[in-house]
Amino acid sequence: MPIDRPGYKRDKIYTVDTTLRDGEQTAGVVFANTEKLEIAKMLDELGVDQLEVGIPTMGGDEEEAIRAIVKANLKASIMAWNRAVVADVQHSIDCGVDAVAISISTSDIHIQYKLQKSREWVLESMVKAVEFAKKNGVYVSVNAEDASRTDDEFLATFARTAKEAGADRLRFCDTMGILDPFMTYDKITTLLNNVDIDIEMHTHNDFGMATANALAGLKAGANYVGVTVNGLGERAGNAALEEVIMAIKYVWGYKVDVDTKKFKALSEYVAKASGRELPIWKAIVGSNMFAHEAGIHADGVIKNPRTYEVFNPEEVGLERQIVIGKHSGTAAIKNKFKEYGIQLDEKDANALLVKVRALSVELKRPLFDKELVSLYEEYMKEKQSA
C-alpha cells in the first residue's frame, strides 16, 4: 500500500524492496530458495508495494525461486531485473512477473570503460528492451546505472527517451553511493524540471548516507524508494527498509501503511538467512535501540518514555530494557528491584548503587538480574550484621 504524501504533484510514495536482488548481490550472501519465498511473503505482509526478486536470465535456482514467488500470488507487484537485452526481458516475462527493471549504465566512465560503447548505443539498447517489454504488457522501470555520475543533460535525454518508449518510471541509481543529500536533492530537482516521469531512488551506503539520500530524492519529488531489509546490498549496502519507513513516519510525520511491528522479526530472519548479524547499535531494529543505562536517561524514560524515545519499542517489535550497570542511577535501581517486589529506600538504593558500579567495572559490562539479586542479598547480610 503506497504512503500518502499530500501536497506533492506525485502524491504517493511507493516502496520497492530489492533484498532478494541487490541484497543477495552482497559479496558472500546466498539465500536458499525457501528463504527467498519466506522473505517475499514477509515483505508482502508488511505492505511493501513491489518486490524485486532476482535475475531470471541467471537460470537454475535463481529462476526457480522467482517462479515460486510469482506462484505465491502475493499482493505486491513482482519485478525481475534485466540487462537492456531483449532476451533477458523475454526470460523475465516467461517467469510470469508483472514488472521488469531494465538496467543500463548512463555515466561516461561506465559507457567508455565497462560497456565500451557510445551514448547512442545505450539509448538504442534501452529503447529496444523497453518497447519489447511494453509490447508484452509488463510494468517497466528503466534503471540508469551510475546515474549520480551521469552528465545531467544526458540523464534527462535518457529519461525522456525511456518515457517516450513507454517506460513507467526511471530508477535513479547512486550506484557508488557518492552523493550527499544536498547533491541528491539538486540532481532530482533538475531531472524532474526537465522530464515529467516517476522516479525511484536507489541509493548505496558507501559514505553512510543511503537513507538520507533516499529521503532527499523523495523530498525533491521522486515517488518510489528502493530499499533492502537491514540495508543489505553491494559493498556498504543500500538504504534500509526499516530506516526509510520510520523516518518517513517520525521525521516527516506521514501516515505509513506499513506494518512496522513486524520489522524486528523480518530483520532477524534476513540477518540469519544472509549470515550478516544485526549490530546491536543498528538504527531502528538494533537491540540497543531501547536499552537505557545512563542514570539521567533511565530516570527520564521511567517518568515518561518520550523523554528519550522517539517511538514506542513495540512499534518495531522491540522491548524497552533498563540496563543496570556502571552508568545507572538510583531511580533505575529502585525500579528494577520493584520488579522483584522489593521497595528500596534512598539509603539502600545508594548503597546498592556503589556495589553495582564496582561489579560492573570489574566485569566490564552491565549486570544480569541474577547478579543484582545476589548483590542485594550480600547487602542485606552486611546490614543485619552491622
Least gap, CB of 226 to Zn ion (angstroms): 8
Nearer to Zn ion, 211 or 330 (CB): 211
Give buried/exposed letters for 124-154 (b at 16+ CB in 10 A, else e). ebbbbbbbbbbeeebbbbbbbbbbbbbeeeb
Single out the segment in contact with Zn ion by CB under 5 A; choices: 17-25, 57-65, 93-101, 351-359.
Answer: 17-25
Least gap, CB of 53 to Zn ion (angstroms): 15
Nearer to Zn ion, 44 or 52 (CB): 52
* Segment 219-222 long-range contacts (CB within 8 Å, at least 24 positions apart): 219/185, 220/184, 220/185, 220/186, 220/187, 220/188, 220/189, 220/192, 221/8, 221/9, 221/10, 221/188, 221/189, 221/192, 222/10, 222/172, 222/188, 222/192
Least gap, CB of 114 to Zn ion (angstroms): 15
Amino acid symbol at 206: D
Single out the segment in contact with Zn ion by CB under 5 A; choices: 7-15, 22-30, 300-308, 378-386.
Answer: 22-30
What are the backbone dihedrals phi and psi of residue 88, each rounded to the nearest 5 degrees, phi first?
Answer: -60, -45
Single out the segment in contact with Zn ion by CB under 5 A; choices: 16-24, 60-68, 120-128, 283-291.
Answer: 16-24
Residue identified by cell 531502528 is 284
Residue identified by cell 539521567 is 296
User: Judged by CB under 5 A, does residue 348 bind Zn ion?
Assistant: no
Nearer to Zn ion, 222 or 349 (CB): 222
Least gap, CB of 142 to Zn ion (angstroms): 15
Nearer to Zn ion, 85 or 236 (CB): 236
What are the backbone dihedrals phi and psi of residue 24, each rounded to the nearest 5 degrees, phi first?
Answer: -75, -15
Name the nearest CA neighbour of 82 among 112, 64, 56. Answer: 56
The DSSP code sequence of 206-263 is: TTS-HHHHHHHHHHTT--EEEEBGGG--STT-B-BHHHHHHHHHHTS-----S-GGGH
Least gap, CB of 203 to Zn ion (angstroms): 8
Any residues with CB less than 8 A from the CB of 212 and at least 6 apart, and which?
180, 181
Nearer to Zn ion, 183 or 265 (CB): 183
Least gap, CB of 25 to Zn ion (angstroms): 7
Element (H, E) at 63: helix 60-71
Q: Is 78 helix (H, G, I), strand (E, B) or coil?
A: strand
Single out the segment in contact with Zn ion by CB under 5 A; choices: 18-26, 126-134, 155-163, 297-305.
Answer: 18-26
Single out the segment in contact with Zn ion by CB under 5 A; choices: 15-23, 30-38, 58-66, 150-158.
Answer: 15-23
Among 5, 21, 22, 260, binds Zn ion (CB under 5 A): 22
Nearer to Zn ion, 126 or 344 (CB): 126
Nearer to Zn ion, 274 or 360 (CB): 274
Helices (H), 72-209: 86-95, 108-109, 119-135, 152-165, 181-194
User: Judged by CB under 5 A, does residue 52 bind Zn ion?
Assistant: no
Q: How many residues of this chain bind Zn ion (CB under 5 A)?
A: 1
Least gap, CB of 229 to Zn ion (angstroms): 14
Single out the segment in contact with Zn ion by CB under 5 A; choices: 21-29, 111-119, 307-315, 331-339.
Answer: 21-29
Name the residue number minimizing CB distance to Zn ion.
22
Residues lying near Zn ion in the complex (CB under 5 A): 22
